[in-house]
Every structure is written in C-alpha cells, then in structure tokens.
Structure 1
Amino acid sequence: MTAPLTPPHQPHSQPHGDTPWPEPFPKPAPDVPGARHEVRDALGVVALSALAGVVFGLLWLWLAPRIPLISDGKAVFLKNSEGEAAIGADGTFALLGLGFGALAGLLVFLWRRHGGVGLVLGLAAGGLAGSAVAWGVGSFLGPTDDVVAHARAVGKGVAFDAPLELNTVGALLAWPIAAMILHLALTTLFGPRDAEPEWGPWEQVPPRRTEP
C-alpha cells in the first residue's frame, strides 16, 4: 500500500504556480467625530447663531423702512395708505436672514469640512434661534407697540413711526433654509470623499486551477 502524498493532519498544499486571489486593502477612512462631538458642535452652532441674531436684529431695525402713523385726536391712521413699508419690513428681514444663513453655512463648512447630521441640525435650530432673537431685538428696540399712548405723546397731526413688526412668520425660515442648503452643497462639492478599496493588479494574477 502506498502512503498518501499529503498527511491528513496537514493542510493540502496548493499546486505549483497557483497564486491566491489578492485581498482588497482599503485606505483608512477619514476621522469622523463621534456622536458626543457632533452634539457638542451642534450646540455650539446654536449658541453662536443666537448671538448673531442680536446683530441681525440691530440691522433689521436700522434697514427696515418705517411706517408713518398720524392721529387726528380720535383715531390713528396710516399717513401713507399704500402700505409698502409693511411689506418692506418683512422683505428686509427675509433678505437679512438669507445673508446670515449663507454666512453661517459657509463658516460651519470651513470649520468642520466633514459635515454630519449634527451640524445640519445645529444650523437648522441655530437659524431658527437667531431669527427669533432678531425678531425680538428689533421689536423691543423699535418704536413702542402702545400706539395710542405714542399718539397722545406726540400730539394731534404729528407723524410718528409704527411698531416694527414681522407680519410674515415664514420669514423666520430664511436663515435656516439658506444655511442648510449652502452647507450641504459645499459638503457635497468640496467635502472629503469616502475611501475606496485598492485592489491588486488583476492582470498579473494567473487563473486558479481546479483540482480533480
């Protein structure tokens, strides 16, 4: 009886010239912050956006057109019946919101180029917070909302400014929408790409031979 060529306790050796298939060697993925870091970054974006809302409110108070009112001693009327000034106040707020949102999206991208859900949520919440703060600052520092007392103080036939109001609440969304759109666009175009696996030179690998 002839002894087996390959002992049973040893692995079967590959035939001569047979080369195993190369394994992929993926590049290490770029460092991505964990959930705790994303929450921290999101809260930081919200806090800074709320502080920027103060500047936003001051600019709105400065740039928004005034609505002149006048009193005849019995009632208060619009001095100009057209009412473009009321629309102008909302438009000014929306345009400022778009500008602040675009600036926030750009700065956050330059700060954290990897993007992430936390930053997007931080931009959305921060935009709403900044817009709300701007609305409050502009309304608080603007003309008083007690129109009757103001009319009595200035006297009959004297024009005075109406309170600075935001008639279109949807203008509050200008900041967060602009911030998210610009940040997502910049991340898509210029953000880091996922590493692709590197494969060996397939053309140099001889075909695997099957054993009987």
Structure 2
Amino acid sequence: MTVPNTPAGSTPGPDPFAAPPHPSQQPSLPERTPLGPELRIGAIITAVGVLLGGVLGLLWLWLAPRIGYQVSGNRILYRDPEGEELIGAVGVFATLGLALGLVTALAAFLWTRARGGGIAVAVGLALGGLLGSLGGWQLGIRLGPTADLRAHALAVGDGGRFDGPLELSAHGALLVWPMTAMIALLALSATFGKREPDRPPYWAMPPQAPQPPQPPQSPQFPADRG
C-alpha cells in the first residue's frame, strides 16, 4: 500500500513510532584493549631488565679480562704490550648481553603468550635491555679497579703490579641486549605465537537452510489526486 501523495518509486522514511532494535541486533563495535594492563606489563618487563643489569655488571666484572700494569721507577708500563684485553672486555660484555636478551625474550613470551603478547612486551624488552646494559656497564666500572693509574701505582710502589680499570671501548655493545631481545621475540611470536583458528573448508561447513520464496510485490501506482 502506498502512502497518499507519495511519488512512485520513492522509499518511505523511517517510522518514528517504530520500536528501537534489540541490543542483540545492533552491530557490535570492536573492543578496545585496556591501557592499564598494557602499561603494567611493560613496566614489569622494564623493571626486570633493570634488575638484571646488576647481574650483567657483576658477571662482566668477574669474567672480563683486564689490562695489566707494572711500575718501573717513575713509569707505568704495560705487562703485555700486545695484549687484547680491551677487545676481550667488549666481547664478554656483548656475549652476556646476547644471553640476557635471549633469556628475557623467552621469559616475556611465555608469560604473555596466552594473551597474545602486545606492543607493551616489545617496548618493555627494548627499554629494559637498554637500561640494563647501561646499568651493568656503569656498575662494572665503579666496582672494578680505579681509573686513577697514578694513584694506584703509588699505592703498589716501585716494581709492583696492578690491574687497570674495566673499559668498554665499543659502545655498540650496549645495544646487543635490546636488539637480541627484539629479534628473539619476533622469531618466537612468528613460530609459536597465538594464532586465530583457521576457517574450516567449504565441504566441512554446515549447509545453509534454503531461504523461503519472497512473495511477488505488486506494482505501485501514483495516488490519484483528483
């Protein structure tokens, strides 16, 4: 039935007296991830990285080779002029950073695997690894021998020997930990990460019920205004 004074082919507007649609029939909006849990996870991972920086500093102090000096008269000489202690100290620091990067990435992945990870995990690993490397570097230097070679030489006297301070001659080693953690997290997420369930093939899907035939619509004629 056509509303009077309605041109043919036009669609009537919405009925203002119609009941609102049921909430179950309304399109659902995608749920937003709460910001609080994401920040908490990132802060925890960062804090763990900072704490492990102390472990890095102690291990570096214990394992890294040091330059040896000896006092001869009023001169301070190298015990081994061709030694490679500087390169060895950098290598030990980079190796420890590599190991800590792998450990922290694996632990963070296993902890957050059920929830699907998130950007907070990656940021926490990168920031925690960088801060841990900086903290371990400074801790190893401060706990090691003094950098004042003259004072140390006066303390041991003529003919005495002493070890020089720890030095990180290549500061790029500070990035080994965060970069290793990021690469390991990416590899773990791509290999063992949470995935959406695959859609079953078309032959395994249940058949759809046939749609009832629609009744033919009667043609609409313009209302007679006479």
TM-score, normalization: structure 1? 0.78
- State the structure with more CA Rg: 2
Q: Amino acid of the residue matched to residue 48 of structure 2? A: L
Alignment partner, residue 159 of structure 2: 157
Structure 1 residues 189 and 161, CA gap change in structure 2 (3 angstroms): same
Alignment partner, residue 116 of structure 1: 118
Structure 1 residues 79 and 208, CA gap change in structure 2 (3 angstroms): farther
In structure 2, distance between residues paired with 1:176 and 1:153:
40
- SS for the counterpart of 2:94 is helix
In structure 2, distance between residues paired with 1:208 and 1:167:
80
In structure 1, distance between residues paired with 2:170 and 2:33:
38
Q: Amino acid of the residue matched to residue 154 of structure 1? A: V
Q: CA deviation at 1:207?
A: 9.2
Identity of aligned residues (%): 45
Alignment partner, residue 40 of structure 1: 40
Q: CA RMSD in A?
A: 2.9
For these two proteins, the number of residue pairs brought into alignment is: 186
Q: CA deviation at 1:197?
A: 6.2
In structure 1, distance between residues paired with 2:153 and 2:124:
43
Equivalent runs, 1:117-156 vs 2, <5 Å:
117-156=119-158
The superposition leaves residues 23-56 of structure 1 with CA deviations (integer Å, 9 ceiling, x where unpaired) of xxxxxx9x99532211111111111111111111
The superposition leaves residues 86-140 of structure 1 with CA deviations (integer Å, 9 ceiling, x where unpaired) of 1100000000000011000000011111121111011000001111111111111
In structure 2, list runs of 5 or more residues that go unmatched.
4-29, 218-226
Structure 1 residues 139 and 208, CA gap change in structure 2 (3 angstroms): farther
In structure 2, distance between residues paired with 1:167 and 1:158:
26
Q: CA deviation at 1:76?
A: 1.8
Alignment partner, residue 189 of structure 2: 187
TM-score, normalization: structure 2? 0.73
Alignment partner, residue 58 of structure 2: 58
In structure 2, distance between residues paired with 1:148 and 1:32:
62
